[in-house]
A and B are shown apart, each in its own frame.
Chain A
Amino acid sequence: MKRLVAVLFVLLGACSTAPQRSLPPVVEGSGSGPLTPGQTVPGDTAPEPLKAPPPAPAATGGAVIALLDRADSYRASGDMSNEAAAIERALRIEPNNARLWSRLAATRLEQGQPRQAEQLALKSNALAAGDKRLQAQNWRLVARARWALDDSAGARAAEKNARALGGS
């Protein structure tokens, strides 16, 4: 059951960074030609054929879940170093998965690296726009890290952020 919850958790994380929700602002109209002449337009190369936008990438969730399973079993045996290595491996596959960064932050805190835990939680938040629960969780992690760093003012500010998000 716990594993199922973890799996769902990560899948949701993958959803929150799915490309459809973060499409770029589409520039409207074709008249948006440059207002100004460019300086360094190459004149000596023939125009290349247009490269079509790549097809939507297939889901890579299966690989990430397999790696999180490994991370869990390392964790169960108290091997934090390998747990972190497995999460880093997952991050190479899904570098924009906010939940993976959050999980790495939690691991670093347990490894006794509060400075990195704080920064990794901030990184997770940078990728967690719209996910208030994850943001609140990250701010709580930041608070714990800052308490460990004797930064009580920073810790209280982080706790305040967490509460503000938790309430909505």
Chain B
Amino acid sequence: MPRKKPTTRRRNAKRKRRKSTNYRFPWRKILLTLLVVTVGYVAFLDFQVYRQFEGKRWSLPARVYARPLELYAGLTLEPDQFAAELRALGYKFVATARRPGEVSRNASRFQLISRPFVFWDGGEPSRALRASFSTSHLQTLQDDREGNAVALARLDPLEIGSIHTARQEDRILLKLDEVPDTLVRALIAVEDRGFYAHHGISPRAVGRALLVNVQSGRVVQGGSTLTQQLVKNFFLTNQRSLWRKFNEAIMSLLLERRYAKDEILEAYLNEIYLAQDGQRAIHGFGLGSQFLFQRPLQELSTAQMALLVGMVKGPSYYDPRRHPERARERRDLVLQIMQEQDIISQAEYQKARREGLGLVQAAAGTSKSFPAFLDLVRRQLRRDYDESDLVSEGLRIFTTLDPQVQWALQKSLTERIRPLLGQQPELQGAGLVAHSANGEVLALAGGRQSGFAGFNRALDAQRHVGSLIKPAVYLTALEQSGRYNLAARIDDGPLEFEQSGQLWKPENYDREFHGEVMLYQALASSYNVATARLGLELGVNAVIKTLRRLSVDAPLNPYPSLFLGATDLSPLTVTELYLNFASGGFRVPLRSIREVLDAAGQPLQRYELSVERVIEPGPAYLIHRALQMVIEEGTGRALNGRFSSQLGLAGKTGTTNDLRDSWFAGYDGEKLGVIWMGRDDNQPMGLTGGSGAMQVWAGLYAMAGVVSSQPLKPDSVEWYQVDKTSAGLADSGCDNTVQLPFVEAGSKPPKAPCARGGSLRWLPEWLR
């Protein structure tokens, strides 16, 4: 590269010359560059401030609600259940209810002021109500001011959780005018007295803070303005450095230049970090209030507001659940400042100081209370929504969960399992309750521990169902009404059957054979041999076809042992199967969600009620009667010691080999409950369907309330008396009879020997 050399030399010479002759330091250029860089940087910060502050400021997790309690005269609800629901909703029990969220109780009479709430079909206003109960029902509902009867009122729904990612921030957004004035003034008095005067930063505030802190001998105030605190929370990392302080100051000034004080204040009230709930960070005073007191901010007492304001300074240091003494001291200091600044009177100050912290035990809406049910909700949501929308768009999900039924289910399950844990530490249980008419899931327990989010047995445990499958066999027979009826005789004598080269010899649970029995008796007493024989007559394929029609889409064992339940189903699938019986022959898809609203309360999606007839009215009525006979005289008859036989309860027990699974599926006139008990490792645990799951079911229904089950007889069906000894049609001459419905066009038994010529058809008392 010889050619380049001269050029370089010449340039060097030139430079030397310039340096030596007219060299001047380029102040202007450097200043100009600095200015450009600074202006550019500030513009960049300004853009950041603008972009973050405008439009959507926060991503909000989806919020999930239980069903709202509808109040009307005639509602089945005990006064104590009502009180429990109000307590869960954070209503304050007082002498005289004056504000929304307050209630007074006098024995079975309640006077309350409900909270306003936005539902799918519009807003429900706050109302002053008077409700009086009998022991089991809401008897009258009146407007407390006018005294006139109120036909229907809806309470705000219990929040049961939110759908968020790990370490996500959560908040309830509030507008400035929704925040109590007292709280705002207290916040400004404690954190930034010059807020309305400064331009974002305040040297005076730093000085004053120093003075106050020196005077009181400890750190009472910080020197940062509210604006600076907001900027710190909003845009910057937690790192402490001079550069960050600089950015904070610039951005504070920019924020103040662009936005009004009230906008900044509103953002602050929603942004500020207040507490930690597991993976969820609690931000803003709205959610902070719910988290600590389970009550909207508007309903807080002065002392409670002071506690929240005090926590701003150090959310974990002043955590009132972990450090109640420290938090109380801080609260009292805030109260003192409030009194000094004339935000509250001396009398209010004295009263507030005497108040306890008033925290709720468990944090509200923490996904801790009903994780198994939320799991079901999430699965349904994932079919229709992107996960990213669920955790960021602030959707409001209205579910079907009935807290009363849920509490009853959890309590009953725990009460049955706890005393057995000594002998059976591995014992588990699960349960599902659904509304028979519309398929809404009212309650769900995924294990014996209610608040434990783990393996969801109600949805995912695949277990042998045992005798629970038998109604499908009997229904298949009853649908052939020319051939079978409830009094048809089937043989429960010894049976041998060759199945793919192996000899199958079903046995009864009591190891005995019962000879000829009526079809309904074989189901009611759950005879395996008679059922197997009936199943073989019908064929495995016919029974599988029935199960498929009844929405069982799990893989099924294609061998005759299917008739005795040697096939795996989840409690969820069993619920879907039995809903067909409980709803009078209609397939009702299970639903856990009613509606979804967007963050602004606008309707997005409704999950509609739908039904499909899958069993003709005649056989549907007959199988229901057979399932009632299970309780009347069969394996479920222990329930008669607890419930009146006039309730017409229906159900079926299920027990698997060596007592590995204990099942019960049963329903009243309103809801179906399916209970499973067993061990995750599928080892025997010593309970039958009757001694395990059915007891849980009984406890659940005793607590949640029973509605009598009396479906109307279809025109195609007639009642007859049947002689129990001969299984023939009976009349007044027979003395040991049972009343059974028959499809009028179908087969009927011959006349019984004891019948002496009276009327065979049996008329229910109410028709006589």
What is the interface of chain A, defined by CB distance below 8 A to chain B? 17, 19-29, 31-45, 47-48, 50-55, 57-63, 65-67, 70, 74, 81-82, 84-86, 88-89, 91-93, 95-96, 104, 116, 119-120, 122-123, 126-130
Contacts and interface: CB of A to CB of B under 8 A. Distances in A.
Given A39-B508, A39-B509, A53-B647, 12 more contacts: A23-B765, A25-B762, A34-B525, A38-B635, A40-B689, A42-B695, A43-B691, A57-B76, A66-B152, A74-B121, A119-B586, A126-B585
Contacts of B134: 55
B738 A59 contact: no
B739 A22 contact: no
A91 B609 contact: yes
B690 A41 contact: yes
Interface string B730-768: 000001111100000000000000000000001011100
Interface string B131-158: 0001011010000000001011000000
Contacts of B517: 35-36
Contacts of B437: 91, 95-96
Interface of B: 70, 72-76, 120-121, 134, 136-137, 139, 149, 151-152, 435-438, 440, 508-510, 514, 517, 521, 525-527, 584-586, 595, 603, 606, 608-613, 617, 620, 628, 632-635, 637-638, 641-648, 653, 655, 669-670, 688-691, 694-695, 698, 702, 705-708, 710-715, 719, 724, 735-739, 762, 764-766
Contacts of B655: 39-40
B67 to A, nearest CB: 9
A120 to B, nearest CB: 6
A85 B688 contact: no
25 contacts: A22-B711, A24-B710, A27-B645, A29-B735, A32-B738, A36-B525, A38-B690, A39-B655, A42-B638, A42-B688, A42-B690, A50-B644, A54-B647, A54-B706, A55-B137, A57-B74, A57-B137, A58-B73, A65-B151, A66-B151, A85-B120, A88-B608, A119-B610, A126-B584, A129-B713
A160 to B, nearest CB: 15
Contacts of A40: 509, 526, 635, 653, 655, 688-691, 694
Given A23-B764, A119-B611, A53 B708 contact: yes
A23 B635 contact: no
A17 B708 CA distance: 12
Q: Which 4 A-B pairs have the closest CB atoms?
A: A40-B690, A63-B72, A95-B437, A60-B74
Contacts of A92: 70, 435, 438, 440
Contacts of B440: 92
A50 B151 CA distance: 34
Contacts of B710: 19, 22-24
Contact of B74 (A19, A58, A66): A58
B712 A129 contact: yes
Given A19-B708, A25-B764, A119-B612, A62 B149 contact: yes
- Interface residue SS majority, chain B: loop
Given A37-B510, A57-B76, A129-B713, A51 B642 contact: yes
A35 B724 CA distance: 8
A74 B40 CA distance: 57
Contacts of A60: 72-75
Contact of B72 (A20, A29, A81, A93): A93
Which of B647, B710, B719 has the most A CB atoms < 10 Å from its CB? B710
Which of B120, B438, B655, B690 has the most A CB atoms < 10 Å from its CB? B690
A82 B122 CA distance: 10
